[in-house]
Chains A and B, each alone.
Chain A
Amino acid sequence: MASLPKRIIKETERLVSDPVPGITAQPHEDNLRYFQVTIEGPQQSPYESGVFELELFLPDDYPMEAPKVRFLTKIYHPNIDRLGRICLDVLKTNWSPALQIRTVLLSIQALLASPNPNDPLANDVAEDWIKNEEAAIEKAREWTRLYAKPK
């Protein structure tokens, strides 16, 4: 396997030595571009006290290309679809090579704190969210209790 770029090594070291509160990210031993990630649901959000598992992969062109990230834990959110794919501008058109794994994960945490049903990925969830926000938030809480139990 090709050697790992210095930047990825530095980022990985810093994620371990100076972790972001509420976020963990650890590379797989057999693939150092592939990370196992957990994000705690932000306080005062419907995801509070849930721990969500994600996976993150740094493609060959990283950092010229954004990391690929997906939720592994089921989550009820207008910008996250049933397969865990995330609709977030910095992962697509607004990516910049000055962003890092930690900034991406912080953006995802922020997305949990402020769902945006007007820019949906999971269309049916976004519709529910707009029609009846209170019920949608309740459902998001319920799913958090059901699927995002801390281990």
Chain B
Amino acid sequence: MSRVPRSFRLLEELEKGEKGMGPESCSYGLADSDDITMTNWNGTILGPPHSNHENRIYSVAIECGEEYPDQPPQIKFVSKINLPCVDQITGEVKKNQFHTLREWKRSYTMETLLLDLRKEMALPTNKKLPQPTEGSNF
């Protein structure tokens, strides 16, 4: 398999996100539709059912650096959330405490990341964690 360069990979992801071809439980798009470098993205994750996250919509900010997708993007929660892998002051997802970032593969996408975060919320150890007031931000 040849290596798809960063920009064409991001365009693919953008098109998938724009056309709504992905799952309904998450969404993502460019933060600035004029940004030719396609660095900053906004995403949302719909809280998984049967958890304290149910019916909540979490906003995240994703930064795809120069080395994406060889290196994972940086991702940070805008909406307040209580999860072990999320820094409780900045909202940042801590790379070393979240397997998808720690063991990042080139084939992973922003969608992988959002869906895996949603799974993280639904883990037996995480789903009943007390959560901040809905609608509050970091």
Taking Cβ atoms with an 8 Å cutoff, the residues of A that contact B are: 1-2, 31, 33-34, 55, 57-60, 68, 70, 72, 74, 82-85
Contact = CB atoms under 8 A, between A and B. Distances in A.
A2 B2 CA distance: 7
A97 B73 CA distance: 36
B11 A57 contact: no
Q: Pick from B2, B11, B33, B38 the residue with the most CB of A within 10 Å.
A: B2
Contacts of A34: 3, 5
A1 B36 contact: no
Contacts of B36: 72, 74, 82-84
B5 A31 contact: yes
A74 B34 CA distance: 10
A1 B3 contact: yes
A31 B3 contact: yes
A85 B18 CA distance: 14
Contacts of B14: 83
27 contacts: A1-B2, A1-B3, A2-B1, A2-B2, A31-B3, A33-B2, A34-B5, A55-B7, A57-B5, A57-B8, A58-B2, A59-B2, A60-B1, A60-B2, A68-B8, A68-B11, A70-B7, A70-B8, A70-B11, A82-B33, A82-B34, A82-B36, A83-B11, A83-B14, A83-B33, A83-B36, A85-B11
Interface of B: 1-5, 7-8, 11, 14, 33-34, 36, 38
A57 B38 contact: no
A55 B5 contact: yes
Nearest to B4: A57
9 shortest interchain CB distances as A-B pairs: A68-B8, A34-B5, A33-B2, A57-B8, A82-B34, A60-B2, A57-B5, A31-B3, A84-B36
Most chain A CB within 10 A, of B5, B14, B38, is at B5
A8 to B, nearest CB: 10
Main secondary structure of the interface of A (DSSP, over half): loop
Contacts of A31: 2-3, 5
Contacts of A1: 2-3
Contacts of A74: 36
Nearest to A31: B3
A114 B8 CA distance: 26
A49 B3 CA distance: 34
A58 B34 CA distance: 25
A1 B2 CA distance: 7
A74 B11 CA distance: 16
Contacts of A84: 36
Nearest to A72: B36
Contacts of A83: 11, 14, 33, 36, 38
